[in-house]
Structure 1
Amino acid sequence: MELSPGEQPWRHQVLQRFDRAAPDYVEHAGLQRAVAWRLAGLCRRQPLPRGRWLDLGAGTGMLADALETLHPGQSVGRLDGSEAMLALQSQRQDTLTWDLQQGLPSWPERPQVLASSFCLHWLDDPCLRMQQWYGALAPAGWLALALPVHGSFRQWHQAASASGQTCTALPLPAATSLLEAVPARAVRHRSLHRFTTQARTVAALLRPMRRVGAGSTPVEPLGVRAWRQLSRHWPVPESDGQFRLTWTIQILLLQR
């Protein structure tokens, strides 16, 4: 008998939802695509050594594809816990289904570059995972990361506070805690970027999260009535009649 969402282990729910969302991911992951290309563009400006490059939590391959496009001749291996996502990769010859909650696989040689976008915040203890990824690099290797951090979803938190409802947005790590998890000398680039999405209704505003499989949360879900109350307290739409949701994205480039 299949367990209900509330009874299933948290990480199992996450992978299940990404598997189900795989066919629609590319169509609805505009923000993820934009961040992947921004991270890849920043990598192009750094002296990244050739060798084994890997995209951790590669999904459908947005970051890996961007890195290969901007670094001709360099292949990027792709790891993800979702077989359905990996099945949509443009490059299938170097993919591995791997649950990153279990750490990293072993390789014959240490990777020169580990890159990851919109993945780390889904793992237990993101700061510890980042330390492990950093430690897995070859000497002088690079870790390139992009992920949403604390400070995201300001409007959602405001609405929850004003309505007396629980904010069911995924808890996110603080940007400062990520920086404290690695040696200061390792940081070659750090930046925070804010992206704002908009829609005519709160339901439409949050729908892309569910469409890409990112609707999972360890917080008890709200009922229909609670959602309606929360929506009524969402910050008033601006003059264009659009509701808004702001993401804060941390980008880090680290060299071992």
Structure 2
Amino acid sequence: MAGVSPLSNRWSKQVLSNFEQAASTYNSQAQLQRAVAWRLARQCARQHIPAGFWVDLGSGTGLMADALEACNPHQAVLRVDGCHEMLKHHHHSSQTLLWDLNLGVPSWPQLPSLLASSFALHWLINPLERLHEWMAALTPEGWLALALPVEGSFPQWHQAAATAGVSCTALPFPSQASLLDVLSSNNIRHQQLHQFTQQSPEVFQLLKPMRQIGAQASPCSTMGVGNWRHLKQAWPRCQNSGDAQLTWLIQLLLIQR
């Protein structure tokens, strides 16, 4: 990857490897990702997005593309992802492209009228630069539909780490403000911040699905057994149920170029 540091290159390879290994279990564990994909697809259906060349960037197993096609029965969506194993789980009739989005946007014979991406941008190197590239790749007045977790997610995890005096190994997410700064010169047609809180009697059960969908990569060092025990003990509990909780902040954006 031209212009990418060896450290960033290793990070990219680690992310892709994790998702490759989790391809067979992704759909059964990605309930949140599926729900968000449908919310974004339904928001797209409420807009006047021109038919034509539609693309799902970082498509994974196709949850976003499937939702878009279900809401728009006569519109096909090209599914682009860097993981071959993920693309193997798409419908046989689907159009797919194996492509590492850290390399930029592929050179297509026609410009897309819609670029959609759900739970993918934050896994890329320099996500704000990628976001700028995606906007520039659209047709004039084309649309970008975006969903991703943002800064402020996982407050319980960060609180537990601070209380226990250990490093928080949660993946850092772009801030809502930084995303809006990149998009300030474009027309934001819809923006909404959704909060989802998961809970379980065991902290491990909250974090286990991340590994099962391949989302366990972190730029931080792996936590040892002792630190993990301290983190688990410090994790805040719901007063009513006594369960551990994990809260996501998911930003939905629809932008017209």
Question: Which residue number in structure 1 is paired with residue 30 of structure 2?
Answer: 29
Residue 241 of structure 1, CA deviation = 2.9
The Cα shift of 1:91 comes to 4.6
Identity of aligned residues (%): 52
Correspondence for 1:148:
149
* Structure-1 residue corresponding to 2:75: 74
Q: Which residue is equivalent to 1:3?
A: none
Q: Give the deviation of 1:124 after TM superposition.
A: 1.3
In the alignment, structure 1 residue 224 sits paired with structure 2 residue 211? no
Q: Which runs of 5+ in 1 are unaligned?
A: 1-5
Deviation at 1:56, TM superposition (A): 0.2
Residue 236 of structure 1 deviates from its aligned partner by 2.2
- What does residue 212 of structure 2 align with? 211
Aligned to 2:129: 128
Q: What does 1:237-256 align with in structure 2 at a 5 Å threshold?
A: 237-256=238-257
1:156-175 superposed Cα distances (whole Å, 9 cap, x missing partner): 00000000000000011000
Q: CA deviation at 1:183?
A: 2.9
The DSSP-based 3-state class of the residue aligned with 1:190 is: strand
Does the CA-based 8 Å contact 2:164-2:231 persist in structure 1?
yes
What are the equivalent positions in structure 2 for 1:47-126 lying under 5 Å apart? 47-126=48-127
* Structure 2: tracts of 5 or more residues without a match: 1-6
Map 1:187-198 onto structure 2 (within 5 A): 187-198=188-199
TM-score, normalised to structure 1's length? 0.95
- Alpha-carbon RMSD across the aligned residues, in angstroms, is 1.4
Show the counterpart of 2:4. none
Q: How many equivalent pairs are there? A: 251
Alpha-carbon distance between aligned partners in 2 of 1:94 and 1:133, rounded to the nearest angstrom: 20
Amino acid at match of 2:38: W
After TM superposition, give the deviation of residue 8 of structure 1 in Å. Answer: 7.8
The code of the aligned residue for 1:183 comes to S
CA 1:44–1:103 in structure 2 vs 1: closer, same or farther (change >3 Å)? same
**Aligned pair 1:165/2:201, yes or no?**
no
* Residues 8 and 102 of structure 1, relative CA distance in 2, 3 Å threshold: closer
Q: AA paired with 1:161?
A: A
Q: Counterpart of 2:184?
A: 183
TM-score, with structure 2 as normaliser: 0.95
Question: 1:146 is paired with a residue of what secondary structure?
Answer: strand
Establish whether residue 12 from structure 1 lines up as the match of residue 13 from structure 2: yes
Matched residues in 2 for 1:232 and 1:8: separation? 35
Give distance in 2, aligned partners of 1:118 and 1:182.
Answer: 18
Query: Which residue number corresponds to residue 3 of structure 2?
Result: none
> How far apart, CA to CA, are the structure 1 residues paired with 2:18 and 2:128?
24
The residue matched to 2:22 in structure 1 has which SS? helix
| Helix, strand or coil at the partner of 1:171 | coil
